[in-house]
């Protein structure tokens, strides 16, 4: 008996949603799927493919509340570099050269 109740309720809900003006105006667009997400290739040597990220909102350490994280994708080894609050791309590039490039060379890709 409960099975038929759920089937009837499902039909009523579907009918309500099809006829509801607000639902029809605000439902998501139906678009063709964009395709399969391409995975990153597995690197063969360390420090060839790296990822960079910034952690903000931390307590200040020497007037530098931001950490730039540079991670090697293969070995999962990370470098943590402190940054001040108002940093520019030039400051980030100089920090990258001083801390990462001098130790590991130029990577093939940065994610």
CATH code at position 64 = 3.30.420.10
pLDDT at 36: 80
Residue 35 lies in a domain: no
Residue 42 lies in a domain: no
Residue 28 lies in a domain: no
Residue 80 lies in a domain: yes
Residue 54 lies in a domain: yes
pLDDT bucket at 91, cuts 50 / 70 / 90 = very high
pTM equals 0.63
Q: What is the rounded CA–CA span in Å between residue 39 and residue 26?
A: 33
Dump pLDDT digits (tens) for 24-80. Answer: 777 666 667 777 888 888 889 999 999 999 999 888 878 889 999 999 999 999 999
Residue 43 lies in a domain: no
Domain hosting residue 63, numbered range: 49-110
Residue 56 lies in a domain: yes
CA-only gyration radius of the chain, Å: 25
Between 7 and 76, the more confident residue is: 76
Residue 20 lies in a domain: no
**Closest C-alpha among 107, 44, 61 to residue 80:** 61
Contact by Cβ (8 Å): 37, 50: no
The total domain count for the chain is 1
Answer yes or no: is pLDDT of 2 > 60.
no
């Amino acid at each position: 008996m409960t099975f038929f109740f759920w089937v009837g309720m499902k039909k009523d809900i579907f009918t309500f949603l099809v006829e509801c003006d607000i639902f029809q105006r605000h439902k998501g667009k139906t678009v063709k799927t964009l395709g399969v997400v391409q995975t990153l290739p597995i690197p063969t040597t360390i420090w060839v493919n790296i990822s960079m990220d910034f952690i903000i909102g931390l307590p200040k350490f020497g007037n530098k509340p931001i950490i730039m994280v540079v991670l090697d994708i293969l070995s999962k080894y990370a470098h943590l570099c402190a940054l001040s609050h108002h940093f520019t791309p030039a400051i980030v590039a100089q920090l990258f050269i001083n801390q990462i490039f001098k130790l590991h060379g130029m990577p093939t890709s940065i994610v």
